[in-house]
Amino acid sequence: MHITDHLQPGSVALNRQADSLQAALQILVELMAAGGNLTDTQAFAADVQAREALGGTCVGGGLAIPHAKSAAVREPGLAALTLDPPLACDTPDGEPLRMMFLIAAPADANDLHVQVLAELATLMLDKDLCERLIGAESPQAFCDLIAEQEAADEPKAKHKKHTKPEAWRFVAVTACPTGLAHTYLAAEALQKAAQDRGVRLKVETDGAAGVSNPLTPDDIAGADCIIVAADRAVSTARFVGKRMVSVSAREAIRNPGAVLDRAAESNVPVYRGGDGFRANDWREQCREAYRHLMSGISHMLPFVVAGGVLIALALLFAQLGAPSPVTDMMDTVGRAAFVLIYPVLAAFIAYSISDMPAFMPGLMGGYLAQLGTTIGPEENWVSSGFWGALVAGFAAGLLIRLLNWIGRKLPSELEQVRTGLLTPVLSLLGVGALMVLIVNPPLGHFNLWLCDLLDTMQGGSRLALGALLGALMATDYGGPINKAAYLTGTLALVSNQYDIMAAVMVGGMVPPLAVGLSCLLFPNRFTPAERRTAPQNLLMGASFVTEGALSFALRDPLRVGPACIIGSGLAGFLSVLQNCGCPAPHGGIFLIAVIRNPPGFLLALAAGSLLGAVLLALLKKPLRG
């Protein structure tokens, strides 16, 4: 594949002016439309902007390669633009943009845009070529320079050891528990590191909206190594027989170059199937257990979020005088969603461990945990809640593995009897007995004690809890500690402990707001690229997206971390002090109408954010020049 197959002189504009990145993108879209590649210019422009919102496409060195797959693309194409004067915008190295390429691919074109992106990024590693392209006298001369470079590179390509030019050097899968920020940040970080190293990389993102850019069998077969950067279980059976590196999404964000370098080493083990539970390395076993847990939590959270929002809306509409049947219906549906969270958690933990046969016993184990079923009278049952569902999920998954191992010793003629009768019955019996006889009685009493403890925690102890949970929300910006604090808030929400959820939410909102405010109030402490992210961070903070501060924390953890933790701790403390309450687990400032004591919540948020901003400025030294 050649760049000049998709780039024509009519789609090249030289030395144009643009006062913003959006204006430059619009010029490129118009060039693409002029080349006859589009069926709907406005729809394609919207798709380009939507892709840009997921993460910047500036690759450094004054170059940006925006791209989009769209149903408005008739046939794939490229457009190119050079800017004079250069455009100052958010770039990795702070250099203004001087040249941009826009890639357009049809919606059903699989990974065509990624192939073009890889070819283009590799070509642009030649800085001398970039300078000559920026100085080209005409669109035709611009295209001729690229054609000459591709022709000169072809003899070198014949001597490469890859089996075919289209083969990927690496392929990767990224995923995080919520399927939002970390999934795509990890993908972008790996792609940027691959471009810097001049290697080919295709990344499949397993996000909240589903799988994007899926790996095909040919992609996997042609890869030298597979990279799995995930904090929850993903499908790995397709990688059996390939060399595979497994890391967390956070590690891929923090140090993508080291992950790629590790994948390039010759001693990377071949994946033989199974997971960390079958490994001798206890670290891998812990990592795998965490992924199974996060798989269950990622499926549970939509029930918590949707149910909580419906309950909050029911309260709001009731205050506005809406008819009671409407508010009663919303409240009933929302609380019904809460009833399902523990069965769903257990079912998907079990499914993550042992696939479909484990789903039923996991679901039933979670249901028994929800009911608190014991052999005693029903009026004495107490739900074992989250901890009971956790035990049920892992027990169901591991029990299915044990039954499958035993079942392999049975004659093949009994295979259908084993899978259709023996395994379901024995697994349900085993998990049911475990929950009813062993797990529910003590954990039910533990949950009852814990609820009583929270109810009796008043004064200083309640304030300390709010401060602690707020601080924990700012500890690792969407990582395990943040998720644990958030889970504490959602579980308290189920028990109508709305003040705890308020402390958790305000604590999670502070970090992006703090760094955004610090950029605005103390600009001499931050680079131009960092200052340009201030509006984005303010919006993410207002929306309760803690991950907005992640890029700052990765660059300067010793200063950003303490500032955000102290600010979030103060916000959580003030929230509880002023008896704020939040009846929904997500929404941020947009839930202000249903939050108990809105002025107090806003005061806690403002105080924590301002303290974090000031501390960050005090810890950072002014930049020179």
Task: Give the residue numbers marked as catalytic.
Answer: 67, 176
| Contact between 83 and 97 (Cβ < 8 Å) | yes
Nearest to 351 by CA among 391, 292, 408, 297: 292
Distance (Å, rounded) from C-alpha 91 to C-alpha 46? 22
What are 247's strand-pairing partners?
229
Q: Reduced to 3 states, what is the DSSP secondary structure of residue 234? A: coil
In the DSSP assignment, the letter for residue 622 is: P
Q: How many residues comprise the chain?
A: 625
| Contact between 594 and 583 (Cβ < 8 Å) | yes
Distance (Å, rounded) from C-alpha 78 to C-alpha 67? 9
How far lies 489's CA from each of 51, 294, 577, in Å? Answer: 32, 17, 17
C-alpha neighbours within 13 Å on the C-beta side of residue 382: 15
Backbone angles phi, psi at 352, to 5 degrees: -65, -35
Nearest to 285 by CA among 223, 346, 331, 353: 353
By the 10 Å C-beta count (0-12 exposed, 13-18 middle, 19+ buried), 9 is classed as middle
| Contact between 574 and 502 (Cβ < 8 Å) | no
Two structure tokens written together for 456: 């009796």
Distance (Å, rounded) from C-alpha 530 to C-alpha 592? 29
Residues 6+ apart with CB under 8 A from 193: 256, 257, 259, 260
Give the distance, in angstroms, between the CA of residue 44 and the centroid of all CA atoms in the same chain. 25
